[in-house]
Amino acid sequence: MSAGLNLLLVASAALFAVGVLGVVTRRSAVVMLLGTQFMFIAGALVFVAFARFGLGAARANAGATMALFIGAVSVAELAVGLAMAALIYREHRSFALDADRG
Amino acid sequence: MTLALLAAAPKGPLDTWSPTLLALFALLLPLIALLIVLAFTIDSRRVSAWIAVIFTLAAAVCTFLVVAIEVAHPLHLERPATFLQFFTGQSGSAAEFTLQWGVLSDPLAAEVSFAVALISLLVQIYALAFMRREDGVVRFFCVLLFATFAMLGVTFSINYFEMLLFFGLVTLSTYLMIGHWWQREEAVAAASRAFIISALGDIALLAAVAYIYFRFNELNFQALSGHYTGGRVSANGLFIMAILVFIAAAAKSAQFPLHLWLVGSAQAPAPAAALIHSAGSAVCGVYLIARAYGLFYASPRGLALLAIAGGLTAVLGVLWALFQENLKRAIAYTTMSELGLMVLALGIGAYGAGVFELFTHAWPKALLFLAAGVIIRELRTERLAEMGGLWQRMRFTGVLMLIAVAAGAGIPPFSTFWSKDTILSKALELGSPLAIAVITAVTFLGAMALVRIFALVFTGETARRRRFEPDRIRDAGGRLALTMAVLAIASLVSGIRGFRGRTDPIAFVTFPGVSLPNSHFVAAGVIAASAVLGALVAFVVYARRVRVPAALQPVRHAMGEGLFIDRAYRLAAVGIVLPVSRAAAWVETRVVDGGLDLVGDSFEFARQPRRWLGEFRIRPLLIGLFAGVVVLGTLAIVLAGGIIGRTG
Amino acid sequence: MTLLQAIPTTTATPITLPTLLLSAMVWVPALGAIGLLFFPTRTEVQRERARSFAIGTTALVLAFGVFMWYGFRDQSGTFAYEETRSWLRGVGSSYHLGVDGVSMPLLLLSTILFVVAVLASSRLREQAKEYFILLLLLETGVNGVFASLDYLLFFLFWQLQAVPMFLLIARFGGPRRLSAAWKFLAVDLAASALLLLAILILYFKAPVRTFDISTLHDLALPAATATLIGWLFFIAFAVRLPAFPFHTWFIDAQAEASAPTALILGGILVKLGGYGVIRVNLGEFQDAFHRISGAVVVIAVVTVLWSAIAALAQDDLRRLVGYVVMSHMGLVLLAAASAAPVAINGAVLLMVADGLTAALLVLMAAAIVERAGTTSIRAMGGMAANMGRGALFWILAALAAIGFPGLASFIGQFMIVVGAYPSQRIATWIAVLGILVLAGAMILTVQRIFFGATPERLGRLRDLGTLELFNAAALTTFIVLLGVLPAILMDSINFSVLSLLSRGSG
């Protein structure tokens, strides 16, 4: 395992942690969606890292393809999420998602 | 005399009249009756009751035939059926795990099962009249049938597993019988207490089974009887087995210190109480000891345990009986004393005599309870202080009760005299002064206690009470009288021993290696004397209602309450178990859950110091958990990586 | 010795039995869930139709289950109804399903309990559709875990249960449902993380890059690695079991979930923990499990005793039911730790028995709580005056929970005690003490709830309705049947247990 790979993995973990903290800590729906995007990015970064450093030439394409796939999924999720956020805003006049409101 | 009659009756050859087949019928008939009643006639009181009686009659006939056959050809036969069987993958004899159930027929089983079936029949006929106007009559008969099935199962058990199974059924039947009038708080509490103590016995038996199976790889009584002395298990091991089996027996037979439930059984309706005390749970324990006698016989300390516990129970029971204010409780304590005497007999080696005591004691005890039922119903009180002067008004019941009291006391020639005198003979043979003293004292005091009951109920003047007209008391009639009369006859004759070997009931049930005691005339004389003396003393004291001096009142109260042992138990339970339980709950909410919350709270505190003092926070919990998972995961990965890296 | 040689190990060739049966049992509920999406539920009639559809789906799966049991017979310890389809060949994971004598009874239990749960869900309003969809998805997850013979598939089906269960508790539960739901989700996900970790370590350390359970069973892993994997698997399953000290999520969930959800949770979901320990820890990593068995025994005994004592002073009826289930699962864990064939046979039987008993207890508790208007036992009393049938079934359930002879748990508990005793003497006796304490607790509930004087406000109650009676009677029939004739399952279980124990060393 090379130093570059380790660095990228650590960076990806940090990004993932930021994403989780964003989802769990914040109340606003939009910010939560941003957090999920961070998590997706982190996953994609891991795949790219392994494509670049880890698995050898045969698998390089697989890693990059996976990152593209993740991008598509994350955009789809974002679209649905923003639509729901819009509905919530229409009803409550704010993006806040509180646990007590069920 | 009775058994001499049986030997003369013609019976077919052993092959066609197989006793195990008859035993199987006797066992299954009550169960079939129960199922029929539950399925088809649960709405009709009369039909259900008569179905119960008819099937029990058939079962009683079967057991009678079994006794007849066993008298003619005493044999040990088994009819096993496999309940469960599978391989264990081990080697040798341990390769298979087999659980069997079945019926066995030998003199011991025959004798006790006959008593059970017949008493159950008489109790049911009595209940036909006694419980006629109550709600829940059908339920009562179902419970009686269930109890009969359970008890017969115990007597016909071929191995420890089956014994355990039927012990559990007896526990439930006792619970249902005592708690029959479930609207009464005292009855329900008594029933729960009986259940718990009985369940304790069952658990002890489970432990015994586990240990015995582990050591001997065998659970069958007949097969094990040769193994106990083989030296495969050390003396300590045998003693542990004996202790466990004894605990199981003690719980069922109300030996000290597991005797508390017996008094509570007075809450049961009179017919049910009669069954429990004479042919029910009380008998189960003694029967278990008799069945597993090989184990005790191989462990001298086990025998000593039996003797000590039995003696203690006998003495305490009879002492407490003398101070009871309640009619049924007084009778219950005398049962406790008798059961102690049986266990004592088995402990000192009077095997046949102890078992015979079981048989002879059943009839007068059942009669006592049935008579008590009639008396309590007519007088509408259970307190001895409010009774008296019934001799003029209920002459028939009085005569029967007199017979029962005499038979229970051991006055010759009534039933228990014959068994008690043999027990004392054995004690004389052993030359143990303690045993002799205990047996004599118990006979004396037992006679006193029983005659006290009789005197307080029948002699003297009726205590005056509001709204009670003694002239409206009617004597027992019809079916009640019939059943009690049958029991009285049994109490009269069931003890008498022919003096030829074959029909000697003591010699009927034997255990290899235990010598038959010769009936000393000394022993007979001593028993007769102490019984008659006790009766006379009691009659003089209690017929004249001699007042207890005031100084002894606290003693009287303490004795009446069973020396407050019951309260001690309850305090211990409440004082120990409940705080432990609450401590457990505290640990859960504070420590375990608190751990979870703490992780979450710590982050909430870091974020918003003011708000963390609020209630349970969901998001901080998630943060905390996530952090925890990350930390743990990292640690695990690093460790795993380290381990895996090292080992490649 | 000779007997062991006579037991064949897993064969590669599947037996000639219908090879779609397991897939059907796993996926038909999911298909039913999808089908339910198309049902409108605005009116009462439409909701009834949706409910009937759900009943039909679960009944169909039950029919499959019965067919599976009937055709199972004694497969001599091999896997039956095996299906292997290539799925993720690059990764080494295949769609490999199969049942043996350990998973077949549990799978059958699952199908039975889900039918009962759906039947018991009668009073729902607007959210009926979501409710049944969640329940059916849950069934897919549960059945999938029992049927899968591929670690990745195992994990995926395990994860599938988390969200539906969370939503079921969070949306259809009692007053403190959110707290209970989140606690469940958090703890379950954490345990699943450990599960995934264990699987991945196994995957990367195995000589062959595969997730297949049967292929991976004869591994020669270095001792430290195997122990690590064993620990991770064990903790993941112990949390689900639920073993002390990971049990608080279960008690809270039992208290707050609605009756059918609690029925599934206590009846089948926790059995997955026991199944996991037996299948994976015992079947695959026996030496490693043997090394940690000391700790496992301690945890098991503490679980049994702790839950029994907690049940004794428990005032909330539903929490008490939770503790009863926990106590039985502690016995299962003790049996697994002893690794004795008799005990493990008993453990599987006890799991099936306990599933039925827990279901009956939950249903009766819900009926009692609904009529009494409170969950506090102290506030009840004398309810047998009006609820004669309810009293009867509660007493039967209590006796079944205690292990009363003639009812299902007796033989299971008996075999566990007799089987575990030779190797774990002190632990077995302490566990037996726990059974006694539990017996005391249950009989006291009977006394406090049903007997004694009837307070004024409980004077007018209605007895069990037709549906409640049907459910209770059906469960009781199974409990009695299993108690009187344990052989109907025993023959199937035994050879698989022996095969599992003999194969597992590695």
Contact B350, B289 (CB under 8 A): no
Q: At what angle do helices C293-312 and C317-338 cross, to 10 degrees?
A: 160
Q: A49 vs chain B: nearest CA distance in angstroms?
A: 19
Question: Comparing C-alpha atoms, which of C127, C376, C358 is closest to residue C259?
Answer: C358
Q: Distance between CA atoms of B519 and C156, rounded to whole angstroms?
A: 80
Q: Do C502 and B195 touch (CB under 8 A)?
A: no
Please list every residue in chain B whose beta carbon sits closer than 8 Å to the beta carbon of residue A25. Answer: 607, 619, 623
Q: Do C248 and B593 touch (CB under 8 A)?
A: yes
- Of B260-269, B457-466, C382-391, the range with the highest mean pLDDT is B260-269
- The larger pLDDT score, comparing residue B414 to residue B153, is at B153
Does C453 touch chain B if contact means CB atoms closer than 8 Å?
A: yes
Q: Distance between CA atoms of C92 and C70, rounded to whole angstroms?
A: 33
pLDDT at B469: 66
Q: Do C399 and B195 touch (CB under 8 A)?
A: no
The CA-based dihedral angle spanning residues B230, B235, B240, B244, taken in that order and rounded to the nearest 10 degrees? 50
Q: Do C402 and B206 touch (CB under 8 A)?
A: no
> What DSSP assignment string belongs to C441-479?
HHHHHHHHHHSSPPPGGGSS-----HHHHHHHHHHHHHH
Establish if A22 belongs to a structural domain.
Answer: no
User: Distance between terminal CA atoms of chain B?
Assistant: 89
Q: Do A24 and B607 touch (CB under 8 A)?
A: no
B13 pLDDT above the threshold of 50 = no
Q: Do B607 and A25 touch (CB under 8 A)?
A: yes
Q: Distance between CA atoms of B77 and B22, rounded to whole angstroms?
A: 12
Ranking B232-246, C3-17, C156-170 by mean pLDDT, the lowest is C3-17
Interface test with B, best of A24, A31, A97 (most B CBs within 10 A): A24
For residues B518-537, average pLDDT:
80
| 10-residue mean pLDDT series, chain A (102 residues) | 79 91 82 94 91 68 85 95 91 73 44
Q: List residues of chain A with CB under 8 Å from any CB of chain B.
A: 17, 20-21, 24-25, 99
Q: Do C312 and B172 touch (CB under 8 A)?
A: no
Interacting residues of B536 by C-beta distance below 8 A, sequence separation 6+:
none
Q: Do B87 and C494 touch (CB under 8 A)?
A: yes
Does B630 touch chain A if contact means CB atoms closer than 8 Å?
A: yes
User: Distance between terminal CA atoms of chain A?
Assistant: 46
Name which of C314, C421, C436 is nearest B214 (Cβ-Cβ): C421
Q: Burial level of B427, CB count in 10 A (0-12/13-18/19+)? A: buried
pLDDT at B506: 65
C76 pLDDT above the threshold of 90 = no
Q: B581 vs chain A: nearest CA distance in angstroms?
A: 33
The CA-based dihedral angle spanning residues B143, B144, B146, B151, taken in that order and rounded to the nearest 10 degrees? 140
Q: Do C447 and B191 touch (CB under 8 A)?
A: yes
Establish if A40 belongs to a structural domain.
Answer: yes
pLDDT at B600: 53
Q: Within 10 A of B215 (CB to CB), how many other CB atoms are there? A: 17
Establish if A57 belongs to a structural domain.
Answer: yes
Interacting residues of C89 by C-beta distance below 8 A, sequence separation 6+:
none
Contact C164, C157 (CB under 8 A): no
pLDDT at B70: 83
Interacting residues of C405 by C-beta distance below 8 A, sequence separation 6+:
B164, B165, B166, B168, B169, C483
Establish if A88 belongs to a structural domain.
Answer: yes
pLDDT at B566: 73
A vs B: CB pairs below 8 A:
12
Ranking B69-83, B559-573, C19-33, C483-497 by mean pLDDT, the lowest is B559-573
Nearest CA in chain B to C249: B593
Q: Distance between CA atoms of C490 and C101, rounded to whole angstroms?
A: 9
Q: Burial level of B471, CB count in 10 A (0-12/13-18/19+)? A: exposed
Angle at B398 between CA B423 and CA B467, to 5 degrees: 130
Name which of C204, C432, C452 is nearest B188 (Cβ-Cβ): C452
Residue C371 tokens read as 């009529």
Q: Do B581 and C313 touch (CB under 8 A)?
A: yes
Please list every residue in chain C whose beta carbon sits closer than 8 Å to the beta carbon of residue B621. Answer: 182-183, 186
Does C414 touch chain B if contact means CB atoms closer than 8 Å?
A: yes
Q: C345 vs chain B: nearest CA distance in angstroms?
A: 9
Q: Do A20 and B626 touch (CB under 8 A)?
A: yes
B46 pLDDT above the threshold of 90 = no
pLDDT at B60: 93
pLDDT at B619: 63
B165 pLDDT above the threshold of 80 = yes
Percent of chain C with pLDDT over 70: 94
Place of tokens 């799978």: C107
Please list every residue in chain B whose beta carbon sits closer than 8 Å to the beta carbon of residue C415. Answer: 97
Q: B278 vs chain C: nearest CA distance in angstroms?
A: 24
The kind and range of the H/E element at B550 are none
B472 pLDDT above the threshold of 70 = no
Question: Comparing C-alpha atoms, which of B204, B214, B218 is closest to residue B99?
Answer: B218
Q: B636 vs chain A: nearest CA distance in angstroms?
A: 16
Establish if A47 belongs to a structural domain.
Answer: yes
Q: Distance between CA atoms of B118 and B58, rounded to whole angstroms?
A: 10
Please list every residue in chain B whose beta carbon sits closer than 8 Å to the beta carbon of residue C193. Answer: 629, 633
Q: B299 vs chain C: nearest CA distance in angstroms?
A: 22
| Ramachandran area for residue B563 (φ above 0: left; ψ -120 to 50: alpha; else beta) | left
| Ramachandran area for residue C382 (φ above 0: left; ψ -120 to 50: alpha; else beta) | left
Q: Do B623 and A25 touch (CB under 8 A)?
A: yes
Q: Distance between CA atoms of C357 and C351, rounded to whole angstroms?
A: 10
Establish if A67 belongs to a structural domain.
Answer: yes
Question: Comparing C-alpha atoms, which of C329, C194, C312 is closest to residue C250?
Answer: C329
pLDDT at B253: 92
C112 pLDDT above the threshold of 80 = yes
Q: Do A24 and B630 touch (CB under 8 A)?
A: no
Establish if A46 belongs to a structural domain.
Answer: yes
Ranking B5-14, B52-61, C9-18, C389-398 by mean pLDDT, the lowest is B5-14
pLDDT at B456: 86
Percent of chain C with pLDDT over 90: 50
Establish if A60 belongs to a structural domain.
Answer: yes
pLDDT at B12: 43
Interface test with B, best of C234, C396, C414 (most B CBs within 10 A): C414
For CA atoms B16, B20, B21, B22, give the dihedral sign.
positive
B607 pLDDT above the threshold of 70 = no
Nearest CA in chain C to B582: C313
Q: A35 vs chain B: nearest CA distance in angstroms?
A: 14
Local confidence band at B34 (pLDDT 50, 70, 90 cut-offs)? very high
Q: C78 vs chain B: nearest CA distance in angstroms?
A: 16
Residue C450 tokens read as 């049903």
pLDDT at B502: 45
For residues C231-250, average pLDDT:
91
For residues C454-468, average pLDDT:
80
- The larger pLDDT score, comparing residue C87 to residue B57, is at B57
pLDDT at B471: 65
Name which of C186, C452, C501 is nearest B621 (Cβ-Cβ): C186
C-alpha distances out from residue C229 to C133, C145, C219, C291, C335, Å: 35, 19, 13, 12, 21
Ranking B2-16, B22-36, B378-392, C122-136 by mean pLDDT, the lowest is B2-16
Local confidence band at B6 (pLDDT 50, 70, 90 cut-offs)? very low
Q: Distance between CA atoms of B53 and B56, rounded to whole angstroms?
A: 5
Contact C267, C113 (CB under 8 A): yes
Does C399 touch chain B if contact means CB atoms closer than 8 Å?
A: yes
Q: Print the domain residue range for A66.
A: 27-93
Q: Cα-flanking dihedrals φ and ψ of residue C485, to 5°?
A: -125, 65
Place of tokens 């609605």: C258
Does B619 touch chain A if contact means CB atoms closer than 8 Å?
A: yes
B vs C: CB pairs below 8 A:
179
Q: A17 vs chain B: nearest CA distance in angstroms?
A: 9
* Total count of domains within chain A: 1
pLDDT at C14: 40
Please list every residue in chain B whose beta carbon sits closer than 8 Å to the beta carbon of residue C178. Answer: 618
- What mean pLDDT is reported for chain B? 81
Ranking B168-172, B510-514, C163-167 by mean pLDDT, the lowest is B510-514
Ranking B108-122, B516-530, B612-626, C55-69 by mean pLDDT, the lowest is B612-626
- What mean pLDDT is reported for chain C? 87
Please list every residue in chain A whose beta carbon sits closer than 8 Å to the beta carbon of residue B626. Answer: 20, 24
Q: Do B644 and C491 touch (CB under 8 A)?
A: no
Name which of B89, B206, B639 is nearest C414 (Cβ-Cβ): B206
- Taking every pair of Cα atoms in chain C, the longest distance, rounded to a whole number of angstroms, is 72
Q: Cα-flanking dihedrals φ and ψ of residue B233, to 5°?
A: -115, 140
Q: B632 vs chain A: nearest CA distance in angstroms?
A: 14
Nearest CA in chain B to A24: B619
pLDDT at B10: 37
Q: What is the pLDDT of residues B263-289, one digit of tens each?
A: 889 889 999 999 999 998 988 999 999
CA B422 from centre of chain: 23
Name which of C342, C385, C452 is nearest B97 (Cβ-Cβ): C342
B473 pLDDT above the threshold of 90 = no
B137 pLDDT above the threshold of 70 = yes
Q: B197 vs chain C: nearest CA distance in angstroms?
A: 9
- The larger pLDDT score, comparing residue B377 to residue B547, is at B377
